[in-house]
């Protein structure tokens, strides 16, 4: 149904192959959170790989920065309808974390956990093969608190709620366990190109 009197004004027209359905382009970097922005000092920061309840490997901030660092430039898509193109990140690929830990993914699913109690589920196939990283820098600068600093997950091919801010652990799970938003009406997988915004899409 065409909406009477509505016409396109958005710049998305210039890049139709890069803007998923229902999204529009933004130049700024909106901030969305479910609660207050946590305060995480670098001295207290750590990141843990877990197989079920069992911690497999833990890195401090200094140890994390001794790992191979990767830069990537990616388009990101937020379920609240904005997309942002060519965002430059750096951090540690999940592949490199697994290699460093000497760990083959023990299950097909994972949950990312954050300092504020947030969690989100991502299939392991979407985390490996260079598809995802734990990002510590944006545009060459340490990642700002508002955007998930000190470190956030970056899974840019899924809606951005999957890229958990303030990440502190990645846990392999036997089943695909719904995370925070997935339990609150949002899609279990979240592919922007299939417009999987809400439960059952």
Question: CA 78, CA 155: separation in Å to the nearest integer?
Answer: 12
53 binds another protein (CB under 8 A): no
Provide the minimum distance between the beta carbon of 145 and another protein in the complex, in angstroms, as a whole number. 9
The vertex-45 CA angle with 129 and 124, nearest 5°, equals 20
The vertex-169 CA angle with 86 and 162, nearest 5°, equals 40
Among 55, 106, 117, 142, binds another protein (CB under 8 A): 117
184 binds another protein (CB under 8 A): yes
Q: In the range 56-85, which residues lie near another protein by CB under 8 A?
A: 78, 80-82
Provide the minimum distance between the beta carbon of 146 and another protein in the complex, in angstroms, as a whole number. 7
Tell me how far the alpha carbon of residue 8 is from its chain's centroid: 30
Among 68, 146, 174, 194, binds another protein (CB under 8 A): 146
Stretch that binds another protein, among 22-30, 55-63, 64-72, 127-135 (CB under 8 A): 22-30
Q: Which is nearer to another protein, 142 or 198 (CB)?
A: 198
Q: Which is nearer to another protein, 63 or 201 (CB)?
A: 201
Provide the minimum distance between the beta carbon of 200 and another protein in the complex, in angstroms, as a whole number. 3
Strand, coil or helix: 86: strand
43 binds another protein (CB under 8 A): no
Residue in 149, 169, 162, 41 with CA at minimum distance from that of residue 91: 149
Question: CA 124, CA 175: separation in Å to the nearest integer?
Answer: 11
Q: Which is nearer to another protein, 85 or 101 (CB)?
A: 85
Burial of 160 from C-beta contacts in 10 A (0-12 / 13-18 / 19+) = buried
Provide the minimum distance between the beta carbon of 91 and another protein in the complex, in angstroms, as a whole number. 23
Residue with tokens 């990645």: 170
Question: CA 167, CA 193: separation in Å to the nearest integer?
Answer: 25
Binding residues vs another protein (CB under 8 A): 1-10, 12-13, 21-24, 26, 30-39, 78, 80-82, 116-117, 146, 180-181, 183-185, 198-201
């Amino acid at each position: 149904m065409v909406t009477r009197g509505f016409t396109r004004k958005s710049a998305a027209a210039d890049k139709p192959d890069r803007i998923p359905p229902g999204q529009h382009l933004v130049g700024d970097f909106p901030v969305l959170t479910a609660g207050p922005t946590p305060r995480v000092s670098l001295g207290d920061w750590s990141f843990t790989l877990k197989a079920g309840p069992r911690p497999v490997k833990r890195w401090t901030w200094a140890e994390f920065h001794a790992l191979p660092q990767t830069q990537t430039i990616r388009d990101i898509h937020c379920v609240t309808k904005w997309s942002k193109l060519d965002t430059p990140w750096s951090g540690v690929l999940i592949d490199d974390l697994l290699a460093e830990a000497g760990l083959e993914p023990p299950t097909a699913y994972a949950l990312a956990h954050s300092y504020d109690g947030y969690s989100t589920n991502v299939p392991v196939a979407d985390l490996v093969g260079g598809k995802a990283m734990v990002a510590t820098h944006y545009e060459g600068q340490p990642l700002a608190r508002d955007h998930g600093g000190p470190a956030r997950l970056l899974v840019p091919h899924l809606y951005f709620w999957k890229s958990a801010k303030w990440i502190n652990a990645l846990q392999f799970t036997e089943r695909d366990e719904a995370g925070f938003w997935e339990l609150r009406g949002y899609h279990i997988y979240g592919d922007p190109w299939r417009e999987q915004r809400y439960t059952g899409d």
